[in-house]
Structure 1
Amino acid sequence: MDNSFIRFDDVSKSFGALKVVEELNLDIGKGEFVSLLGPSGSGKTTILMMLAGFENPTSGAIWSDRKRIDKLPPHKRNMGVVFQNYALFPHMTVSENIAFPLKMRGTSRADTSERVKRALDMVQLGALAERRPSQLSGGQQQRVALARALIFEPEVVLMDEPLGALDKQLREQMQLDIRDLHKRLGLTVVFVTHDQTEALTMSDRIAVFNHGKIEQIGSPSEIYDHPSTRFVAEFIGETNLVAGSVHSIDGHEAVIRLENNEVIKVVAKDRLRSGSKVVFSIRPERIGLGAGPGNTLETRISDVVYYGDHLRLLLSGGGQSFVVKTDRNRLPPSVGDSLTVSFLPSDCWAVDA
């Protein structure tokens, strides 16, 4: 079984004729924070529900700590679950909500009281123990749901877009809080989200899903800097996708001929072939203004937008359009100006068109 703590072995899930998850093989290590990232309908929530026991696989097997669990009921899997809508009981106080999993397990009153107190302190809600959910803010309700998922000390915590209902500032704070809890408690976390920034901020690894299959899995930096498919390049963050054809390949570097016959050098994937149509991905922040080492293009400024912490330039050149992010303290260029830009081959990643 190797050293994986959670394992999906050829797991598929269909609803009638609709195949939602297709032959999923995924290993998650103990103490790892893995995000399942993808657009709506990509299968990520169904995967979480199968792991929690609320859905059954159509085929395949799911393992946890070397035990097969896909036939076990949810309460025997030792997994805490946090849902997007929190699923708090409105007639119960904060303390009663948090204590509920222990009550269902027959924990003594004295032990329950002590563990609820520790859980409240962990999420910094000790002063609100007797309030009802309706008296709490969205962020406070989210903390209650998190404490309830952790109260019985589960081996695994599953989170299904738990921050989706929060405003931007609170969501970013909760990302850091959950990340801190993960590290402090050594939790194994499987986190479902469609928010790329959230996944990049919180995860040890990210599995990018598309139509029920993993397009790419890797660390945040691998996923962001080295997308293996066009879908991943477009879905993760912002990127420029530039079309061309492979002129030549030398080891891991390819020469790409653009539509206006200019050539640039990029990192090549193994499957690229001379003459094939490709697109290469270059992130807006990796393009420098002015001549530099590596690739150089002559462009013209189509638009300049002030974003507060940076300037955003829309450029045209090489028969393509580019977006560039640059320091706001630079002298703002003017629309219509000519501008030389440069970028390193190692910052460009070519994939099949």
Structure 2
Amino acid sequence: MQPFIQFESVSKSFGSLAVIDSLDLTIHKGEFLSLLGPSGSGKTTILMMLAGFERPTRGTITLDGMRIDQLPPHRREMGVVFQNYALFPHMTVAENVAFPLEMKRLPRHEIARKVERALDMVRLGHLKNRRPSQLSGGQQQRVALTRALVFEPRVILMDEPLGALDKQLREHMQLEIRELHKRLGLTIVFVTHDQSEALTMSDRIAVFNAGKVEQIDSPHAIYDTPRTRFVAQFIGETNLIEADVVNVQNGHATIVLGADLAAKVRSGPELQAGQKALFSLRPERMRLGADPAGDNALDMTITDCIYHGDHMRVQLAKGNFTFTARCERLAGNWTVGTPVVVSFDPRDCTVLAP
């Protein structure tokens, strides 16, 4: 697939502080790419360089084969949506949406037509004469999104656009943006530190740490087969344990986790007998009280049960070795001190070379 947006050996420093280091990144036309990482990982700086608000210290950025890193923001054909909406408080909804079209000096009748069509697209036509202060947070966010869409940009850039919304409204807006992306075939670059948001909305996720991409992949692959310790720990929740590799054979390995607990796991090509490895197993992949005839059946004891409404979090231990499992609320009558068999499939865990 031909690259639509390409970062080639891009670095960005502020004085002596290096924020981005030799970044190579390809974004395809029509895809929804999330830049995910903790605060200070460089993801917003990448968005600002793409928008034209910052320039790379080194390297090049191209859009559809044309170099853009030297172009001013207004010549890049990109719509930007910020967390604080950046709406003009003295303008109506329609006037806010019309603003970028007026800057392009389009005829008034064409502006009116485009504004009306854009507002109807996000179901805000009936609010066109209100001012931002008369709207809810979700409605303001939709106005900001509409203003970014109205001049039909080639790319939409979003910087933590849902961070100020409450949980229920944020989840609703995630689905709205996802539906707009699919319906209009938009190319969207979305900055977030919210793992759930990235997993829900994206075609691909680029996980950033200290100015570098740790892994770029589909949400499914990022969650189920993390390639580094950072990705395994940052995305979702996992039991991450240092283990000893005993043997490797026919695509599987036997490892010792601790307290003489041995497990059979999938083996990557880099695993070798006698080395240390990192074992990662998601809490929801574990079964309690299951048939111990499977590949992995560990005898442990329940040390705590925590109620979470739709599920239970169960703490398990044997000696100094501990696990956390997530169970359906009605999966069993688990109580502290109960011995239990913990089982899991070798395909459900990941083993990383250190």
Same fold (TM over 0.5): yes
Superposed, which structure 2 residues align to 1:157-196 within 5 Å?
A: 157-196=156-195
User: Which residue of structure 2 lines up, in the alignment, with residue 117 of structure 1?
Assistant: 116
Q: CA deviation at 1:329?
A: 1.5
What is the rounded CA distance, in whole Å, between the counterparts of 1:63 and 1:336 in structure 2? 60
User: Which residue of structure 1 lines up, in the alignment, with residue 7 of structure 2?
Assistant: 8
For structure 1, the 5+ residue unaligned runs are: none
Report the secondary structure of 1:336's partner residue: coil
What is the rounded CA distance, in whole Å, between the counterparts of 2:166 and 2:10 in structure 1? 35
Deviation readout 1:1-37 (Å, 9 max, x if unpaired) = x601111101010011111011111111110000000
Higher mean Cα deviation, 135-144 or 283-292? Answer: 283-292
Are 1:50 and 1:56, in contact at CA under 8 Å, matched by a contact in 2?
yes
What is the rounded CA distance, in whole Å, between the counterparts of 1:120 and 1:12 in structure 2? 39
Question: What amino acid is aligned across from residue 335 of structure 2 in structure 1?
Answer: S
What is the rounded CA distance, in whole Å, between the counterparts of 1:228 and 1:269 in structure 2? 11
Q: CA deviation at 1:273?
A: 3.0
Question: What amino acid is aligned across from residue 144 of structure 1 in structure 2?
Answer: V
Report the secondary structure of 2:29's partner residue: coil
Q: CA deviation at 1:250?
A: 2.2
What is the rounded CA distance, in whole Å, between the counterparts of 2:323 and 2:315 in structure 1? 6
Are 1:37 and 1:208, in contact at CA under 8 Å, matched by a contact in 2?
yes
User: Which residue of structure 2 lines up, in the alignment, with residue 227 of structure 1?
Assistant: 226
What is the rounded CA distance, in whole Å, between the counterparts of 1:6 and 1:235 in structure 2? 26
What is the rounded CA distance, in whole Å, between the counterparts of 1:76 and 1:124 in structure 2? 29
What is the rounded CA distance, in whole Å, between the counterparts of 1:178 and 1:292 in structure 2? 46
Report the secondary structure of 2:6's partner residue: strand
Question: What amino acid is aligned across from residue 111 of structure 1 in structure 2?
Answer: E
Question: What amino acid is aligned across from residue 204 of structure 2 in structure 1?
Answer: R
Q: Are residues 1:341 and 2:342 paired?
A: yes
Higher mean Cα deviation, 259-268 or 233-242? Answer: 259-268
What is the rounded CA distance, in whole Å, between the counterparts of 1:104 and 1:142 in structure 2? 21
Are 1:292 and 1:342, in contact at CA under 8 Å, matched by a contact in 2?
no
Question: What amino acid is aligned across from residue 314 of structure 1 in structure 2?
Answer: Q
Are 1:280 and 1:351, in contact at CA under 8 Å, matched by a contact in 2?
yes
Deviation readout 1:98-143 (Å, 9 max, x if unpaired) = 1111000111100000110011111111111111111111111100
User: Which residue of structure 1 lines up, in the alignment, with residue 321 of structure 2?
Assistant: 320
Q: CA deviation at 1:230?
A: 0.8
Are 1:292 and 1:343, in contact at CA under 8 Å, matched by a contact in 2?
no
What is the rounded CA distance, in whole Å, between the counterparts of 1:331 and 1:252 in structure 2? 34
Q: Are residues 1:288 and 2:287 paired?
A: yes
Question: What amino acid is aligned across from residue 271 of structure 2 in structure 1?
Answer: L
Q: CA deviation at 1:46?
A: 0.2
Question: What amino acid is aligned across from residue 45 of structure 1 in structure 2?
Answer: T
Report the secondary structure of 1:301's partner residue: strand
Report the secondary structure of 2:53's partner residue: coil
Higher mean Cα deviation, 236-245 or 160-169? Answer: 236-245
Q: What percentage of aligned pairs have identical amino acids?
A: 62
User: Which residue of structure 2 lines up, in the alignment, with residue 138 of structure 1?
Assistant: 137
Question: What amino acid is aligned across from residue 254 of structure 1 in structure 2?
Answer: A
Report the secondary structure of 2:352's partner residue: strand
What is the rounded CA distance, in whole Å, between the counterparts of 2:265 and 2:11 in structure 1? 37
Q: CA deviation at 1:334?
A: 0.8
Higher mean Cα deviation, 149-158 or 260-269? Answer: 260-269
What is the rounded CA distance, in whole Å, between the counterparts of 2:14 and 2:122 in structure 1? 38
Superposed, which structure 2 residues align to 1:53-68 within 5 Å?
A: 53-68=52-67
What is the rounded CA distance, in whole Å, between the counterparts of 1:91 and 1:25 in structure 2? 42
Report the secondary structure of 1:329's partner residue: coil
What is the rounded CA distance, in whole Å, between the counterparts of 1:80 and 1:201 in structure 2? 22
User: Which residue of structure 2 lines up, in the alignment, with residue 26 of structure 1?
Assistant: 25
What is the rounded CA distance, in whole Å, between the counterparts of 2:69 and 2:62 in structure 1? 7
Q: CA deviation at 1:292?
A: 4.7
User: Which residue of structure 2 lines up, in the alignment, with residue 308 of structure 1?
Assistant: 309
Over 3 Å counting, the alpha-carbon distance change for 1:251 and 1:319 in structure 2 is farther
TM-score for both structures, normalised by structure 1: 0.97
What is the rounded CA distance, in whole Å, between the counterparts of 2:331 and 2:282 in structure 1? 19
Report the secondary structure of 1:50's partner residue: helix
Deviation readout 1:44-99 (Å, 9 max, x if unpaired) = 00000000000000000001111111011111111110001111111111111111
Q: CA deviation at 1:251?
A: 4.6
Q: Runs of 4 or more off by more than 6 Å in structure 1? A: none
Question: What amino acid is aligned across from residue 340 of structure 1 in structure 2?
Answer: V
> How many residue pairs are counted as aligned between the two chains?
352
Report the secondary structure of 1:4's partner residue: coil
User: Which residue of structure 1 lines up, in the alignment, with residue 209 of structure 2?
Assistant: 210
Report the secondary structure of 2:98's partner residue: helix
Superposed, which structure 2 residues align to 1:85-124 within 5 Å?
A: 85-124=84-123
Question: What amino acid is aligned across from residue 344 of structure 1 in structure 2?
Answer: D
Q: Are residues 1:252 and 2:251 paired?
A: yes
Q: CA deviation at 1:305?
A: 1.4
Are 1:298 and 1:318, in contact at CA under 8 Å, matched by a contact in 2?
no
Are 1:249 and 1:274, in contact at CA under 8 Å, matched by a contact in 2?
yes
Q: Are residues 1:269 and 2:237 paired?
A: no
Deviation readout 1:197-244 (Å, 9 max, x if unpaired) = 000000000000000000001000000000001110010011111221
Q: CA deviation at 1:276?
A: 2.0
Report the secondary structure of 2:302's partner residue: strand
Report the secondary structure of 1:285's partner residue: helix
Higher mean Cα deviation, 104-113 or 313-322? Answer: 313-322
